[in-house]
Structure 1
Amino acid sequence: MTKWGFPGSDITLFNSPRGVAVDFSGNVYVADTENHRIQKFDSDGGYLVSWGSEGSDDGQFSYPDGVAVDSSGIYTLLIHKIIGSRSLMIMAIL
């Protein structure tokens, strides 16, 4: 087991990470909740890519609270704090 990351909003930094998932290749996905994005790292903690920004349009998130991966895609659980509803967003694997 290893750990990486520090508080912040720049790439590779986290602001209230709440969900973590690992794919079949060992890549790690983090729901970086307060930064409104999903970040992807290799198994050694090396940054690969991130998706999202704050909003409700395509490619945007509003407080992603969880993340899961399978062979079909990347899934995020979004908690909309203002109205308290939940929705599931499905992303294609890039």
Structure 2
Amino acid sequence: MMPYLLNLGMTSPQTYKLKIQAQGRVIVPTDVRANLGVQEGDELILVKEEYGYRLTSRRLLAESLYGSLKKAEDEERDFTQELLDDRKVEAEGKGW
């Protein structure tokens, strides 16, 4: 069985021992919360990946997804702009 990892998007691996408390609650260490840019009441997202799980914030997930659609310097297509253009045409077709 492959061990599950908690990847916080950091360049060097850092390990945190977390204990599951009543009702499945886990305390996220202060430095991890700061790294994720979250505070009390914010939602975190746990993403299942091939070899484990990744804990992230909505902001970091959105940034990574947006970045994956950005046009690379050596590429000719800008997928983000294509998506926006498609949605605009779709909205205009519906009279929005």
TM-score grouping bracket, smaller chain normalisation = under 0.3
TM-score of the two chains, using structure 1 as the length reference: 0.26
Higher relative contact order (CA 8 A, sep 6+): 2
Higher helix share: 2
Higher strand share: 1
TM-score of the two chains, using structure 2 as the length reference: 0.26
Higher Cα Rg, which structure: 2
